[in-house]
Amino acid sequence: MADATADLHFTSAEVAQCKAATREARIAWLLAAPALVLMTLFIILPVVAVLVLGFTDFELGYDDFRFVGFENYAELFSDRTFRISLWNTLAYAAIVTPFSILIGLGIAMLIESETKGRAFFRTIYFLPVASLLVAMATVWQYMLHPSIGPVNMALALFGIQGPNWLGSSSTVLLSLAIVGIWQSVGFNMVLFLAGLTAIPRELYAAAEVDGARSAFDRFRLVTWPMLGPTTLFVVVISIINSVKVFETVKTLTEGGPNKASEVLLFTIYQEGFVYLRVGYASAMTVVFLAILVALMFLQYRVLDRQVHYS
């Protein structure tokens, strides 16, 4: 009889625990519901719409459209403008990503080594990130002006004839990359500063005891390995930001001259909102997202194996 009563009490406790777990799960779903609704409305549904529209000939402003299968994707590979914009995007990312990472790391280490003025220098270097890019692009347009720009005036002091930075096919992409590096360095610096702050100071003392006397040895043996997770994150974010370049191209060059600065997002914008070919622009967007995902996957496969997680 006592055993039956014990079993009854145990069963009642289990029921109460099950009810509590159900109540907690219901509350959790209620708290997560706003985020799930917003994610569905602004991420999942637009992605599904882009995937579907990529198989149609839909044009903005027209009600009728038909499914064309893979015709849009077949047209992409024969589209000279798409090939040029893809190459320009990859070249831009290849310049901006490594330089913004290296310069950001160097500035972060310099600021971290200073005992005074850290907040001031952090603010100064972070200003390009917080500034309105369209307004800053106007400043860069003046600085890179072929006749009255300060850059060419400075080169003239050394007897160097400065080029038409934004008006020449040979220099326009490099000019935009310089602006992109200037914009990205501050953000990367803040991320590296967070990683440097998290490194225990005792590791440097231990490395010095083990014979790491020079600053380079301490960087090679302690700083760089411990910055592995931060570096992986910075690399991924930098590639995403550089591949997504649009504002500077739209403001400074409009893809010219002779499509020398046309990048993927600008081409998608042109096809979708200028030529109104939403179906073709959607197919181009799908390819753009696939390239971006492939680059991110490759970065994780290559870099994640070399990362030391503390």
Q: What are the φ and ψ backbone dihedral angles of 67, each rounded to 5 degrees?
A: -80, 130
With cut-offs at 50, 70 and 90, classify the pLDDT of residue 310.
low
Question: Which of 45-49, 87-91, 133-137, 220-224 has the least mean pLDDT?
Answer: 133-137
pLDDT tens digits along 142-182: 999 998 899 999 999 998 888 999 999 999 999 999 999 99
| 288 found inside a domain | yes
* Cα-only R_g, the chain: 27
Query: Which residue, among 216, 219, 247, 285, has the nearest Cα to 72 in the 3D structure?
Result: 285
CA angle 25, 29, 34 (to 5 degrees): 165
Pairwise pLDDT comparison (126 vs 92), residue with the higher score: 92
- Asked whether the beta carbons of 173 and 180 are under 8 A apart, the reply is no
| 294 found inside a domain | yes
pLDDT tens digits along 85-109: 999 999 999 999 999 999 999 999 8
**Residue 129, domain CATH:** 1.10.3720.10
Indicate whether 92 and 167 sit together in one domain.
Answer: yes
- Could you give the C-alpha distances from 66 to 54, 55, 60, 62, in angstroms and in order? 11, 9, 13, 11
Indicate whether 30 and 159 sit together in one domain.
Answer: no
Indicate whether 206 and 253 sit together in one domain.
Answer: yes
Q: Flag whether pLDDT at 1 surpasses 60.
A: no
Query: Which residue, among 49, 182, 159, 26, has the nearest Cα to 104 in the 3D structure?
Result: 182
23 lies in which domain range? 1-53
Task: Give the global pTM.
Answer: 0.85
Q: Flag whether pLDDT at 242 surpasses 80.
A: yes
What pLDDT does 5 receive?
47
For residue 70, give both structure tokens: 């893979």
**CB burial of residue 203 (10 Å; 0-12, 13-18, 19+):** middle
What pLDDT does 4 receive?
46
